[in-house]
């Protein structure tokens, strides 16, 4: 049995970019347009000497419910049910949005372990977004940059206890 890690969060926070970096291939579609990942994608990830299954989400197109929240929740829920641990991404450049808070409320009610990841943190200029994420009430926040490959060692520290 391999560890399953889901990447969840609102559109455009960099979930597919992180997925691609972990999988090492251009498997997930990355786009400036929110919601281009049409369903869940599974990939074989490698981080240092650790290997695991990673699940990318968004699924804005595939929903029964008309609301953005409902659409994200539907895909996220399936991925969340299927994973051992979830990485909840926020955008440190943009700061928190109502959708992030909505997601956090949903996650806080679950029993499964969730780790908040402040993506797009390339330097001190993004510290305000990082600190703001502590206000989500989901514990410690790890600053990373999926695009530049920064903070990957923090992800190893986060995931190691689940082996
Ligand atoms: P998703 O909708 O959450 O899957 O987000 P994507 O992975 O498609 O990325 C959305 C946008 O954010 C794209 O333009 C990415 O190039 C950009 N992006 C992703 N990660 C980073 C990062 O670490 N730093 C910066 N500056 N931009 C990023
Ligand atoms: Mg995506």
User: Nearest residue CA, atom 9 of ligand 1?
Assistant: 14
DSSP readout, the chain? ---EEEEE-STTSSHHHHHHHHHTSS-S---SSTT---S-EEEEEEETTEEEEEEE---TTS-SSSSHHHHHHHHHHHHHHH-SEEEEEEETTT---HHHHHHHHHHHT--S-EEEEEES--SGGGHHHHHHHHTTSSS-EEE-BTTTTBTHHHHHHHHGGG-
- Encode the chain (163 residues) as per-residue pLDDT tens digits: 799 999 999 889 999 999 999 998 655 555 444 444 456 788 999 999 999 999 998 644 444 556 766 766 777 888 899 999 999 999 999 999 998 998 899 899 999 999 999 999 999 999 999 999 999 999 999 999 999 999 999 999 999 999 8
Residue 109: give the domain boundaries.
4-162
Number of structural domains in the chain: 1
CATH number for 119: 3.40.50.300
Q: Does the global pTM surpass 0.80?
A: yes
- Of 11, 17, 75, 92, the one to substitute when testing ligand 1's pocket (max ligand atoms within 8 A of C-beta) is 17
Does residue 4 line the site of ligand 1, with CB under 6 A? Answer: no
Q: What is the ipTM of this complex?
A: 0.99
CA of 74 to the centre of ligand 2 (A): 15
Does residue 17 line the site of ligand 1, with CB under 6 A? Answer: yes
Does residue 145 line the site of ligand 1, with CB under 6 A? Answer: yes
């Amino acid at each position: 049995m391999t560890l399953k890690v889901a990447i969840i969060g609102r559109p455009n926070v960099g979930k597919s970019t992180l997925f691609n970096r972990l999988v090492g291939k251009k498997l997930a579609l990355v786009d400036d347009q929110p919601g281009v990942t049409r369903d869940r994608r599974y990939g074989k990830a490698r981080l240092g000497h650790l290997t695991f299954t990673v699940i990318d989400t968004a699924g804005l197109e595939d929903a029964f419910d008309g609301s953005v929240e409902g659409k994200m929740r539907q895909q996220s829920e399936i991925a969340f049910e299927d994973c051992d641990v979830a990485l909840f991404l926020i955008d440190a450049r943009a700061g928190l949005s109502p959708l992030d808070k909505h997601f956090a409320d949903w996650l806080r009610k679950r029993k499964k372990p969730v780790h908040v990841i402040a993506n797009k943190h390339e330097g001190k200029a993004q510290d305000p977004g990082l600190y703001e994420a502590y206000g989500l009430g989901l514990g410690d926040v790890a600053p990373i940059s999926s695009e530049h490959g920064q903070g990957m060692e923090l992800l190893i520290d986060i995931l190691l206890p689940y082996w």
